[in-house]
Amino acid sequence: MIFKTRRSKIITVILLALIILTVAFIWSNSLKDSEASNSDSNAVIAFFRPVLELLGVMTKKDQIYFIRKGAHLSEFFLLGSLFAALFSHLRKRWIGLAAFAGLSVAVLDEYIQAFSDRTSIVSDVLIDFSGYAAGFAAVTLIFLIVIKRRRKRLERGAEKAENILSDITARTADPGKR
């Protein structure tokens, strides 16, 4: 059985639900026609305009490009992070499955756009998958650091316990040392 505790099962279900919701969000954006998509992009640009201008992204065309590609990257960064959290939680190293899942969602995302009067661009698949891989790598790295720190703490605790035990053993073997 994959689940050792009820808590583990709950965490797995929550992560799966978040993955499904993220994919649904990504694909729902792809189903929007170009007018709705542009409207969403313009709303985000209006919100981030001061930051974009500070970064030197001045023309409207450049701002649209920056926001759209940033949206692709961030959505898939989140998806990659969630998959990494799920696989780390399950203690599975299914890198091939993880890569396939991320690439499949990215390819289908672009395929869906063909049905909503928007163009499918191969470079967007690469941006999507790059975001996914970055999110997966970041969360995996965080988990590895946490695991390494826990092991060090356990080793120090075991070493202290061993010292205490050998001290007790020495005292009981030679009662005159008290």
- Tens digit of each residue's pLDDT (9 = 90 or more) over 99-109: 999 999 999 99
The angle, 0 to 180 degrees and rounded to 10, between the axes of the packed helices 95-113 and 6-31 is 30
Residue 2 pLDDT > 70, yes or no?
no
Residue 3: per-residue pLDDT: 65
Residue 175: per-residue pLDDT: 61
Alpha-carbon gap, residue 62 to 59, rounded angstroms: 5
Alpha-carbon gap, residue 130 to 134, rounded angstroms: 6
Residue 89: per-residue pLDDT: 84
Residue 1 pLDDT > 50, yes or no?
no
Average pLDDT over residues 23-37: 91
Q: Residues for the chain: how many in total?
A: 178
Alpha-helix runs per DSSP H in 32-59: 34-54
Alpha-carbon gap, residue 84 to 92, rounded angstroms: 10
Helix (H) or strand (E) holding 11, with range, is: helix 6-31
Find which of 12-21, 25-34, 42-51, 115-124 is predicted with most confidence, using mean pLDDT.
12-21
Alpha-helix runs per DSSP H in 32-121: 34-54, 60-89, 95-113
pTM over 0.85: no
Give residue 100's identity as a one-letter amino acid code: F
Reported as a single tens digit per residue, the pLDDT across 116-172 is 878 888 889 999 999 999 999 999 999 889 888 888 887 777 777 777 777 777 777
Write out the two tokens for 22. 């993220």
